[in-house]
């Protein structure tokens, strides 16, 4: 066993990539084999985009609102919510694998430890690309309009993958530490709060009071700004860099959190 | 076995004993809620969180055409938040009934000389008590932040009664689902349906500000009307129309849902 692990730990980079793709492939195959488990994660953001843009249609009439299409405002938010929860879903899947013992079998296999993290992350990114593509398609059919073409689409995907990475890193870190469903509520609540304590519902210049104070310093506000540019005007570096920095820093920190959690799990 | 041939439907069974049994089942479901706060705390916290978010995010929207005259967005939001919390709570009640079925406690009740109807009514009474409590809790929690009930103490009483009636009405649907499927997972799966009923209504924004198909759906959605009745009591005052909408709309929904739940119970008993 120890020989196997040492071989695994010394596996070359190609080995990491190969096993990561293998682990990711297992997750991706479940989309085909068990679509009923995947559809809700796509339907929820679609519902959110339609419900929010219909319910809050009138907020576009508030002076200073940056668009006259409520779908343009809420569609990127729905993409990011769906992507963040796709990342959290990874944590839930990992908890199930931990509880069922499948994760122990992965750990016993001559698998590079890094691929236990990278594999699920790759599958999450794949799911997010499908999710964002479908949600954007529906949103555009329901009245959303791009204002900066392909570049506007690109920033949504970048922001969505970034939020998914943060959600995945955070959720995996909690899953490795708790090892059971106690972590589930914490995963979901923190992501929910992180996303809603921002300019999620209205722009900073429209909101008032305590939320404005929090949203102004919440880095996720920058990620939302990055995602929304292509629906509110032109994509500019000024509105992009803050989001990119937030993704790099928070994505890096949450993945580090996951990696240290995995290391602790291996030491148990 | 069906409702008519159940042991306590026999001539020996008295109305008094049925009421006693229903009261005992009600107490059980109320105590179950009190003893497992983790199950119900989300349905108390989330609506308050949304109220706080809305007050900050949408306060400027109260000046828009179509918005009722309110002192703050919180005044407008209270009714929607109560209904939101009560709908969340109704899923918890249905889930508890399904859990009773899954764990076999429901079968033990059936094996005992207990009125079948009291099993269901007891569960719904627990939901009603919690719904009324939620309405009171949200109102009192938001009062320090400027919320006031224009209809006064009588209006508050109607709001609490409305909360209880809404809980019974939607609890009837989740109970029917529990009895039909016997699965707590399936009952929890109904949550998105309630979420849709809530969002495609005027719970969070006035119908007058909506347009197109969305407005049409909100117009025919009964949730819009019960919310507006309760909201009228908060922002307008005590009028017969507001009281009627706040109480009669959920009562009508309840008549449908409880009938459905009783029929499902009957089918479940008949299939045994």
Q: Is the pLDDT of residue B228 over 60?
A: yes
The mean-pLDDT minimum among A35-39, A98-102, B224-228, B257-261 falls in A35-39
User: What is the per-residue pLDDT for A7?
Assistant: 46
Q: How far apart, in whole angstroms, are the C-alpha atoms of residue A163 and residue B238? A: 48
Task: Note the ipTM here.
Answer: 0.81
* B57/A202 Cβ within 8 A: yes
Q: Give whole-number Cα distances, B141 to B4, B44, B157, in Å.
A: 45, 10, 16
Among chain A residues, CA nearest to B205:
A55
- The stretch B66-71 carries a mean pLDDT of 88
User: What is the per-residue pLDDT for B167?
Assistant: 94
Tally of domains in chain A: 1
Q: Is the pLDDT of residue A43 over 50?
A: yes
* A208/B60 Cβ within 8 A: yes
* B60/A47 Cβ within 8 A: no
Residue B118 to chain A, least CA–CA distance (Å): 34
Q: Which residue has the tokens 């919390």?
A: B85
pLDDT band, residue B13 (cuts 50/70/90): low
Q: Is the pLDDT of residue A85 over 70?
A: yes
CB contact B197 to A (< 8 Å): no
User: Is B263 part of any domain?
Assistant: yes
User: Is B158 part of any domain?
Assistant: yes
Residue A108 to chain B, least CA–CA distance (Å): 33
The mean-pLDDT minimum among A7-21, A204-218, A224-238, B180-194 falls in A7-21
Higher pLDDT, A266 or A231: A231
For B244-258, give the secondary structure using H, E and C: HHHHHHHHHHHHHHH
Indicate the pTM of the whole model.
Answer: 0.84
The mean-pLDDT minimum among A3-7, A231-235, B59-63, B106-110 falls in A3-7
Q: Give whole-number Cα distances, B132 to B3, B15, B150, B215, in Å.
A: 29, 26, 19, 29
Q: Which residue has the tokens 């090892």?
A: A179
User: What is the per-residue pLDDT for B12?
Assistant: 58
User: What is the per-residue pLDDT for A163?
Assistant: 97
| Ramachandran category for residue A217: left, alpha or beta (phi over 0 → left; psi -120 to 50 → alpha) | alpha
User: What is the per-residue pLDDT for A97?
Assistant: 85
Query: Where in the sequence is the domain holding B163, given as residue range(s)?
Result: 37-101+128-270
Between B56, B61, B200, which is nearest A59 by CB?
Answer: B61
- CB neighbours (10 Å) of residue A29? 11
* B57/A55 Cβ within 8 A: no
CA dihedral A21, A27, A32, A36 (to 10 degrees): -160
Residue A56 to chain B, least CA–CA distance (Å): 7
* B200/A57 Cβ within 8 A: no
Q: Is the pLDDT of residue B57 over 80?
A: yes
Geometric angle at alpha carbon B160, from B154 and B164, rounded to 5°: 140
Between A40, A51, A57, which is nearest B200 by CB?
Answer: A51
CB contact B52 to A (< 8 Å): yes
pLDDT band, residue A12 (cuts 50/70/90): very low
CB contact B56 to A (< 8 Å): yes
* A209/B56 Cβ within 8 A: yes
pLDDT band, residue A14 (cuts 50/70/90): low
Chain B residues inside the 8 Å CB shell of A210: 52, 56
Residue B56 to chain A, least CA–CA distance (Å): 5
Q: How far apart, in whole angstroms, are the C-alpha atoms of residue A241 and residue A225? A: 10
From the list A147, A130, A160, A131, the residue with the least C-alpha distance to A220 is: A160
Among chain A residues, CA nearest to B66:
A58
- In DSSP notation, A24-59 reads HHHHHHHHHH-HHHHHHHHHHHHHHHHHHHHHTGGG
Contact indicator for B39, A185 with CB cutoff of 8 Å: no
Structure tokens at B128: 């009603």
Q: Provide the angle, in degrees to the nearest 10, between the axes of the packed helices B37-57 and A209-217.
A: 90
* A196/B61 Cβ within 8 A: no
Chain A residues inside the 8 Å CB shell of B195: 47
Mean pLDDT of chain A: 88
A&B contacts, CB < 8 Å: 69
User: Is B146 part of any domain?
Assistant: yes
Query: Where in the sequence is the domain holding A212, given as residue range(s)?
Result: 2-267
Q: Provide the angle, in degrees to the nearest 10, between the axes of the packed helices A113-141 and A70-100.
A: 150
Chain B residues inside the 8 Å CB shell of A40: 192
Q: How far apart, in whole angstroms, are the C-alpha atoms of residue B2 and residue B7? A: 10
Outline where chain B has alpha helix (H).
Answer: 15-35, 37-57, 73-103, 105-111, 116-142, 152-181, 184-188, 191-199, 212-220, 222-235, 240-270
Long-range contacts of B246-252 (CB under 8 A, 24+ apart): B246/B158, B246/B159, B246/B161, B246/B162, B247/B158, B247/B161, B247/B162, B247/B165, B249/B222, B249/B225, B250/B162, B250/B165, B250/B166, B250/B168, B250/B169, B250/B226, B251/B165, B251/B169, B252/B222
Q: Give whole-number Cα distances, A263 to A31, A91, A114, in Å.
A: 29, 16, 10
Higher pLDDT, B177 or A110: B177
* B211/A211 Cβ within 8 A: no
Structure tokens at A64: 């200073």
- The stretch B190-213 carries a mean pLDDT of 89
Chain B residues inside the 8 Å CB shell of A196: 53
Among residues 200-259 of chain B, which lie with CB inside 8 Å of chain A? 200, 204-205, 209-211, 214
User: What is the per-residue pLDDT for A174?
Assistant: 92
């Amino acid at each position: 066993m120890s020989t196997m692990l040492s071989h695994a730990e010394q596996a070359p980079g190609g080995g990491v990539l190969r096993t990561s793709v293998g682990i990711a492939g297992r997750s991706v195959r479940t989309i085909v084999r068990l679509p009923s488990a995947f559809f809700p994660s796509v339907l929820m953001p679609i519902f959110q985009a339609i419900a929010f843009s219909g319910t809050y249609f009138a907020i576009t009439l508030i002076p200073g609102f940056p668009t006259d299409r409520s779908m343009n405002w809420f569609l990127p938010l729905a993409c990011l919510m769906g992507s963040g929860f796709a990342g959290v879903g990874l944590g839930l899947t990992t908890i199930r694998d931990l509880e069922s013992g499948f994760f122990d079998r992965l750990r016993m296999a001559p698998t590079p430890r890094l691929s236990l993290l990278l594999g699920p992350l790759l599958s999450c990114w794949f799911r997010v690309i499908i999710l964002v593509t479908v949600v954007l398609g529906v949103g555009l059919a329901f009245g959303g309009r791009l204002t900066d073409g392909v570049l506007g689409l690109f920033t949504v995907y970048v922001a969505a993958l970034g939020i998914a990475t943060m959600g995945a890193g955070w959720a995996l870190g909690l899953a490795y530490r708790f090892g059971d469903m106690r972590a589930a509520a914490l995963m979901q609540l923190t992501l929910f709060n992180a996303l809603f304590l921002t300019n999620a519902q209205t722009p900073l210049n429209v909101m008032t009071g305590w939320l404005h104070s929090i949203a102004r310093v919440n880095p996720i506000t920058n990620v939302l700004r990055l995602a929304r540019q292509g629906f509110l005007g032109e994509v500019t570096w000024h509105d992009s860099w803050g989001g990119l920095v937030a993704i790099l820093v928070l994505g890096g920190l949450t993945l580090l959190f996951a990696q240290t959690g995995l290391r602790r799990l291996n030491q148990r | 076995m069906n409702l008519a041939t159940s042991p306590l439907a026999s001539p020996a069974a008295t109305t008094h004993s049925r009421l006693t049994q229903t009261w005992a089942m009600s107490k059980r479901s109320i105590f179950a809620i009190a003893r497992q706060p983790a199950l119900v705390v989300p349905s108390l916290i989330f609506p308050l969180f949304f109220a706080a978010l809305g007050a900050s995010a949408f306060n400027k929207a109260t000046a828009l055409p179509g918005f009722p005259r309110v002192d703050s967005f919180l005044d407008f939001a209270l009714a929607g938040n109560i209904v939101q919390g009560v709908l969340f709570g109704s899923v918890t009640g249905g889930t508890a009934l399904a859990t009773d079925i899954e764990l076999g406690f429901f079968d033990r009740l059936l094996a005992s000389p207990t009125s079948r109807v009291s099993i269901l009514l007891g569960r719904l009474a627990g939901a009603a008590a919690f719904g009324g409590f939620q309405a009171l809790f949200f109102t009192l929690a938001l009062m320090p932040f400027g919320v006031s009930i224009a209809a006064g103490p009588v209006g508050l009483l109607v709001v609490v009664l409305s909360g209880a009636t809404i809980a019974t009405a939607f609890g009837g649907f989740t109970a029917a689902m529990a009895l039909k499927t016997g699965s707590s997972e399936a009952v929890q799966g109904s949550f998105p349906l309630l979420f849709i009923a809530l969002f495609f209504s005027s719970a969070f924004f006035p119908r007058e500000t909506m347009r197109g198909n969305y407005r049409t759906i909100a117009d025919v959605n009964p949730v819009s009307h019960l919310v507006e009745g309760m909201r009228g009591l908060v922002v307008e005052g005590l009028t017969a129309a507001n009281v009627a909408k706040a109480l009669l709309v959920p009562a009508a929904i309840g008549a449908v849902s409880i009938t459905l739940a009783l029929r499902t119970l009957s089918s479940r008993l008949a299939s045994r």
